[in-house]
Amino acid sequence: MEKTKQKNKLFEMAQPNKKLMGVAILLSGMSAIFGLIIPLVIQKVIDGSGSRPSFAMGATAVAMFLLEIAVSALSYYMLTWIGLKMVKGLRERMVKKTTAFELSYFQIEKPGELVSRTINDTNLIKEFVGEKIPQLISGVVTLVFTVIILFYMDWKMSVLIVVSMPLCALFMLPLGKKLFAISKKTQDKIAGFTADFTQVLSAAELVKASNGEATMVKQMEDEIDSLFEYGKEEGKVNSILQPLMMFVVMGLIMFIVAYGGYRVSQGTLLPGKFIAFMIYIFQIIGPVVSFSTIFSGYQKVKGATERIQELDQVVTEDLEKGKTVEVEGKDIAFNNVTFAYNAEKTILKNISFKAKQNQTIAFVGPSGSGKSTTFNLIERFYRPTSGEILIGGDDVENYSLQSWREQIGYVPQASTLLSGTIRDNLTFGLNREVTDKELDDVMKQACGSEIVNRLPKGYDSEVGERGSLLSGGERQRVAIARAFLRQPKILLLDEATASLDSRSEKVVQQALENLMENRTTFVIAHRLSTVVDADKILFIEQGEVTGEGTHQELLQTHDLYREFCSQQLTD
Ligand SMILES: Nc1ncnc2c1ncn2[C@@H]1O[C@H](COP(=O)(O)OP(=O)(O)OP(=O)(O)O)[C@@H](O)[C@H]1O
pLDDT in tens, 404-423: 998 998 888 777 788 889 99
Question: Is the distance from the beta carbon of residue 370 to the nearest atom of ligand 1 less than 6 Å?
Answer: yes
What is the predicted ipTM? 0.96
Q: Is the CB of 17 within 6 Å of ligand 1?
A: no
Residues with active-site annotation: 495
CA distance 217 to 394: 54
3-state secondary structure of 326: coil
- H or E stretch covering 7: helix 2-14
> Does the CB atom of residue 11 touch ligand 1 within 6 A?
no
Q: Please report, to the nearest 10 degrees, the dihedral formed by the alpha carbons of residues 558, 559, 561, 563 taken in order.
A: 160
Cα of 407 from ligand 1 centre, angstroms: 24
Does the Cβ of 376 fall within 6 Å of ligand 1? Answer: no
Candidates 369, 494, 542: which one to mutate for ligand 1, based on the most atoms within 8 Å of Cβ?
Answer: 369
Residue 464 CA, ligand 1 centroid: distance in Å? 29
Ligand 1 atom 13: the closest Cα is on which residue?
368
Most confident range, picked from 7-21, 52-66, 68-82? 68-82
**Cβ of 373 less than 6 Å from ligand 1:** yes
Q: Which domains does the chain have, with CATH numbers?
A: 2-313 (1.20.1560.10), 342-407+492-571 (3.40.50.300), 416-487 (3.40.50.300)
Edge-to-edge strand ranges of the sheet holding 360-364? 408-411, 490-494, 520-524, 360-364, 536-541, 544-549
Dump pLDDT digits (tens) for 130-168: 778 777 877 887 788 788 888 888 887 788 777 777 776
| CB 486, CB 406: distance < 8 Å | yes
Residue whose CA lies nearest to ligand 1 atom number 18: 370
Mean pLDDT of the chain: 82
Predicted TM-score (pTM) of the model is 0.73
pLDDT tens digit sequence for 281-318: 887 777 777 776 777 677 777 777 877 787 788 888 88
Q: Ligand 1 in contact with 117 (CB < 6 A)?
A: no
State residue 292's pLDDT score.
67
Nearest CA to ligand 1 atom 9: 373
- Least confident residue range of 58-67, 153-162, 164-173, 540-549: 164-173
Q: Which atom of ligand 1 is nearest to the CA of 376?
A: 18
Cα(119)–Cα(97) distance, integer angstroms:
15
Res 3: pLDDT: 40
Q: Model confidence at 448, in pLDDT bands (50, 70, 90)?
A: confident
